[in-house]
Amino acid sequence: MPEADRPADNASQGCPSLEVLEAIVSGRAGHVRASDSSHALSCPRCLQRLDTIRKNNDLLSRLESVGSVDGGGSVVAGSPGTRAHGEQAQGSAAASRWAEEAGPAAGRLLEIDGYEIGEEIHRGGQGVVYRARQVATNREVAVKVLLAGTFATERQRLRFEREIELAAALRHPNIVTVHDSGRTADGSEYLVMEYVRGQPLDAYARHVSDYGATAPKSRARVCELLALFEQVCRAVTYAHQHGVIHRDLKPANILVDVDGAPHVLDFGLAKALESTASHDGGGNTPGIHDTLTMPDSFLGTLAYAAPEQVRGDSAAIDVRTDVYAIGVMLYEALTGSLPFAMNQPLPDVLHAIAESAPASMARHASFLIDTELRTIVLKALSKEKGRRYQSADAFRADISHYIAGDPIDARRDSSFYLLGKTLKRYRWLAGGGTAAVVVLTIFAIAMSILWQRARVEAAKSNQIRIFLEDTLGSVQPTVPGRPVTVRETLDEAVHWVDIALEGQPEVQASLLMTIGNSYRSLGHYEAAGRHIERALAILEHVHGDRRNLSVAQALNALGLLRRDEGRFAEAESIFLEVLKIRKQQLGPNHLDVAMCMSNLGQLRVLMKDYLKAGDWYGQAYDIRTDVLGYENADVAMTLYQMGEISRLSRDLRMALVLHGQSLSIRQSVLHEEHPDLARSFLATGLLMLASGEYDEAEVQLREALRVRQRILPADHWLIAETEMELGEFLVYQGGAVHEGSVLLGHAYGVLYVAFGGTDERTQRALRGLLHAYREMWNVKFNM
């Protein structure tokens, strides 16, 4: 039986009873005689018993803290009086009273030579922080003292000393500076640091984001918040470069000052990258950094803890642990919520952090959280350290890339991203082996995405996996004498849909739609119709009627096919039915409703009914701006389409206004090499040319050509088309006949190969080239 629990007659030794010692430890010293208190603090036997009682209370506090998780998800194991965002969590009552009432942490008697101590400004799991004034310099500072005061355990004192040692070595504008440290008259540890007037990171993010707003914020607001995280990453990178891992990064430990600059603080749980060892008389003993992190222990704040932390694998903690915490904070700043629900039993919380995917960011409308931004956040939140950013600086670099509109590194590790980029660059190609590769890529992406979405249902996931392996694995790159065609690839896929997915009607229907759309993109309308109509019949049978969103999706695919076939009346009837279903199921202000309206608008353009087309596009524009805000790529696309209607209606002034607005948004939200940006440059340039604004028109046309030359092969017909437009301008209006002739010559060669000599585009390029030759001939011979 431990000595503290063994009944003993202490009268003969003059030692206080166990109840008196517990009162001293729990902070009820006011009920203890001064003589008993004085004896206990000077008697070796009593000091040993006090230490045992403190350890027992410490263990109890840890057990009770781990047994419950508060709304903020804060658990600091081994620290009495655990707090989350300034609010005290549940814990041992005795330990809490001891932590809050004992020693100088109460603040009533705290005195430090050279400082005037003011009010308490923060109370955390291990320490209390006061506002103070340094008398010699009249400088406002913050003073932190151990929460347990003179009753702190050796481990707590060592941890506090380590915080002083590690933080004092860091000098960075975004890390709180340590000015001084020492012991109070009664032996309590303290440290003096700069005082930051500001608010915690989460409070600042709430102010910037305004989560309650009905519409998402602009890209500029997103970048404002991201710029703050750039600075946080720089500060953490600096700490890492100086051998310090924070291990407890959270909003409460990052203060944002009145100028919007972040300051990282509280290195109480920090860890040195290389443990030190102290030597005493030649014998090796564990150093301060070795002894403070025990195997299978958890230190930190649960909501922001990395998987390796919640698993208790202290040996696995490194700089990528801090990267994860920054990722959680960025997720929370963008969405207003944590990636995992904290209001559930602790085992479920731990399992979610260690094994589950974060909640989708796409459902949050506070910011324009596009695919690239989600990719950045999710890379930082990877369960496997090897798949995270390998440093805080790499995290910062990708944030910088995103703000600047440059390609992000996180995407470069994604096969979907690389395939997507390839698809965008080559989507206009037709015919030959290149087309086969492109459409096979489309097919593979669609299959893979569907596989990912279906994996929540184990049986479906397994069937799709088998389907993908068998279908794509069975397609050989060549057959005797020639390459495999796209048609053969799709035919093989159809064969396997029937075999591999029997009994999985919804998955089968989804794949049939994908195959049908691929046939449509190749112009094989008969085959496309068979598969799309079959998918529609399957879904109608599964759901019982046509008033279902899955059925509407199949109907929409059929409407697109009828449009491409030139069967406009049928296409319109189908699109109107899809619109009715989506309005009923999703409400009138949903983005899928807007997409259907855009399809109807595009159909009316093909029917040359520009007035009705403009009405449909106008309704789509209203929905998209209401839901997405103004600065959004879909809004820009709608403005582009409305601009085209004005151009076709001969209202060039309005067309130029609308295309100019579309271009402005695209320059703000898209990467500088996005293909849609090239389309806007070209359209705006041609309208300026028609309006006689030649200088600005040339700028826009050259930008369109620059973008397309960067993202497309040199012999792509879209580059040739742009060269033809710019070449004609240079020959006819620009006064640069030789440069124009070079552009027109290249354009003619590409267009001839792509479309033949009788195509209007080819003949137009030839006419321009001949005119350029005549002009140069006339100049040469002064004719």
The token pair that represents 125 in the structure block = 């799991």
Distance CA 23, CA 42 (A): 17
The alpha carbon of residue 273 and the mean position of all alpha carbons in its chain are separated, in whole angstroms, by: 28
For tokens 């805000």, name the residue: 629
Query: Can you list the alpha helix ranges (DSSP code H) found in 587-650?
Result: 591-606, 610-628, 633-648
Contact 236, 322 (CB under 8 A): yes
Dihedral sign for Cα atoms in the order 60, 61, 62, 65: positive
Contact 334, 366 (CB under 8 A): yes
Torsion, Cα of 714, 720, 726, 732 (10° steps): 130
Contact 185, 245 (CB under 8 A): no
The alpha carbon of residue 185 and the mean position of all alpha carbons in its chain are separated, in whole angstroms, by: 50
Distance CA 130, CA 107 (A): 8
Amino acid at site 639: L
Contact 29, 37 (CB under 8 A): yes
Distance CA 114, CA 137 (A): 10
Burial 569-597 (b: 16+ CB within 10 A, else e): eebbebbebbbebbeeeeeeeebbbbbbb
What does DSSP assign to residue 245? Answer: E
Q: Any bridge partners for residue 589, and if so which?
A: none
The token pair that represents 13 in the structure block = 């030794």
The residues that are catalytic are: 248
Distance CA 511, CA 446 (A): 8
Distance CA 520, CA 532 (A): 10
Distance CA 760, CA 764 (A): 6
Contacts of 500 (CB under 8 A, 6+ apart): 463, 466, 467, 470, 471
Question: What's the Cα-to-Cα distance from 386 to each of 321, 380, 411, 447, 580, rounded to whole Å?
Answer: 11, 10, 15, 27, 48
Contact 687, 659 (CB under 8 A): yes
Identify the three-state secondary structure at position 594: helix
- Largest pairwise CA distance in the chain: 130
Task: State the pairing for strand pair 254-257/189-194.
Answer: unpaired
Distance CA 562, CA 579 (A): 16
For tokens 């009533």, name the residue: 108
The DSSP secondary structure of 298-330, one letter per residue, reads --S-GGG--HHHHTT-GGG-SHHHHHHHHHHHH
704, 644, 697: which is closest to 673 by C-alpha? Answer: 704
DSSP H or E run through 422: helix 415-426
- 179-187 long-range contacts (CB < 8 A, ≥24 apart) are 179/134, 179/139, 179/141, 180/134, 182/112, 184/104, 184/110, 184/111, 184/112, 184/145, 185/111, 186/103, 186/104, 186/109, 186/149, 186/150, 187/150
